[in-house]
Structure 1
Amino acid sequence: MTESPIVELRRYTLHPGQREALIELFDREFIETQEALGLRVIGQFRDLDDENRFVWLRGFADMTERAAGLDAFYGGPVWQAHRDAANATMVDSDDVFLLRPAWAGAGIDGAKSARAAPGATDQPAGLLDATVFPLHAPAGSDLLALCREVLSPVLRQGGARRIGWYVTEHSPNNYRRLPVREGEPVLVGLALFDHADAFDAFARSGAWARNAQPALAPWLAHPAEGHRLVPTSRSALHATL
């Protein structure tokens, strides 16, 4: 499997108590039906620190395929049948970044994990540390070298089993029905740990604060936004062997 050249990071704010309803609907109706149209559902997650947040990643072969696939899905029978139920769970679904892998091979979806079959309810292992780094300017070669040579080694030594780096895709949004945050250059880091305890141990070690954060600080326009994410039962991105 190759990495998705275009990726959406989608962060939804939900009405209180509605996350499980959306997850059940999403895992049942919105995975195979999107992938049949050429879209890739990379992974979907609960945010451990916000019970009203649902986060997911969707991949595309290119921007042309993005527009065609989204038009086919959102104009098709499955979304039409379930959109009212899905939208009823949501306060906001517009917090979306359009991204691309920071360099060839930087995407996290290049090595596919097995997705559980429809109807699965077991919780797969893994915690995905997803961090958005707002930048003063679009990421350049110096920042990407820092990711490869400093930031990734800190994460690997801290126990991350898979790492992905993404930067803003600057092509105009070509599916205007779904807004994205344009004009906001970001770096997005994804680090998959075996479980929450493994990530917490890494955080307590202080390795990131000592060895990564000071080097990264000159590029940041605002403080980073971090999320501790755990996969839903049918997420394809997880740490279960």
Structure 2
Amino acid sequence: MTDFAEFQSVVELRRYTLHPGRRDELVELFEREFVETQEAVGMRLFGLFREPAEPDKFLWLRGFRDMESRRAALESFYYGPVWRAHGPAANETMIDASDVLLLRPSGPGFPVPDGAEASRLVVTVCHPTGPVKEFSEYFADTVAPALRESGVETFGHFETEPAENTFPRLPVRENEMVFVWFAKFGDAHRELLDRTGAELEGRLERPWRQLELAPTARSVLR
């Protein structure tokens, strides 16, 4: 894991809408066929998640050293034998795979795995009214410390990567400037996070999107 941080220079947050009842089918196929094979061509898979509140959603994260290595890795994988063999079965489980954010670091990244037992996580997507960098700095200086004092440790701070999508076969949500952050989640945190969202309303174009995540068996982020 010495190169764990290197693959956080460009991160894809991918959220799929699946046909009803087919999520476990995709998770099993994904974990069996698409983990080592993607990493072998130059990516790192950080997280694979079910959403407890959304039985037909699957969210996952993968990272790259830079945009050029992203292009090369995606070309190698999606034009390669593993995707040719198993991609059609994966696609058959999906209704929509276009909800994708292309991100770059904007603060602390994903922590190196420490073998901890799986816990629920939450990812929050914010659309700032002003420059995303200013919002990121405000979050780091004001919001994150307040959350930490109340027992919520944030990590994985990212913002939109504005570079052109160099692998247009896989579309991303372009022309959106977002700030994204992760935290471990417990029932005691729900009211605190709701209150934080309300306090940030004046700095956001729309209410934040907050998704509770349950790591799958092979998720690195736990």
TM-score (norm 1): 0.84
1:107 to 101, 106, 109: 109
Provide runs of 4+ in structure 1 moved above 4 Å.
none
Name the amino acid aligned to 1:87. Answer: N
Alpha-carbon distance change, 228 to 38 in structure 1, aligned in 2, over 3 angstroms: same
Aligned: 1:69 with 2:69: no
| Residue 134 (1) aligns with residue 127 (2) | yes
Cα separation, partners in 2 of 1:159 and 1:27, compared to 1, 3 Å: farther
The answer as to whether partners of 1:19 and 1:53 remain within 8 angstroms in 2 is yes
Secondary structure, aligned partner of 1:107? coil
What residue identity is the alignment partner of 2:208? A
Contact 1:165 1:188 in 2 (8 A): yes
Q: Which residue of 2 aligns with 1:159?
A: 151
Question: For residues 128 and 74 of structure 1, what CA distance do their matches in structure 2 show?
Answer: 29
Please report how far the alpha carbon of residue 222 of structure 1 lies from its aligned counterpart in structure 2 after TM superposition: 1.1
Match of residue 189 from structure 2 = 202
- Contact 1:155/1:191 (<8 A) preserved: no
Q: Structure 2: how far apart are the matches of 1:164 and 1:27?
A: 23
Structure 2 partner of 1:177: 169
1:236 corresponds to 2:220: yes
Q: Secondary structure at 1:51's aligned position in 2? A: strand
Contact 1:138/1:168, CA 8 A, preserved across alignment? no
CA contact (8 A) 2:215 2:221 kept: yes
Q: What is the percentage of aligned positions where both structures have the same residue?
A: 45
Counterpart in the other structure of 2:15: 11
Q: Give the Cα separation in 2 of the matches to 1:138 and 1:71.
A: 33
Amino acid aligned to 1:60: F
- In the alignment of these two chains, the number of paired residues is 218
User: Counterpart of 2:64 in structure 1: which amino acid?
Assistant: F
Report the CA distance shift for 1:162/1:137 in structure 2 as closer, same or farther (over 3 A): closer
Q: Does structure 1 retain, via aligned residues, the 8 Å contact 2:124–2:208?
A: yes
SS of 1:136 mapped into structure 2: coil
- Contact 2:144–2:154, Cα closer than 8 Å, also in 1: no
> Is there any run of 5+ residues in structure 2 with no aligned partner, and where?
none
Q: How far is 1:154 from its partner? A: 3.2
**2:205 is equivalent to residue 221 of structure 1:** yes
Q: Contact 2:129 / 2:205 at 8 angstroms: preserved in 1?
A: yes
Give 1:150 deviation, angstroms.
2.1
- Deviation, structure 1 residue 140: 2.3
With over 3 angstroms needed to count, the CA separation of the structure-2 counterparts of 1:30 and 1:114, relative to structure 1, is: farther
Work out whether residues 123 and 211 of structure 2, in 8 Å CA contact, stay in contact via their aligned partners in 1: yes
1:28 maps to: 32
RMSD across aligned positions (CA): 1.8
Name the SS of the counterpart of 2:171 in structure 1.
coil
Task: Return the alpha-carbon distance in structure 2 between the equivalents of residues 169 and 112 of structure 1.
Answer: 25
Q: Which runs of 5+ in 1 are unaligned?
A: 116-123, 194-198
**TM-score, with structure 2 as normaliser:** 0.91
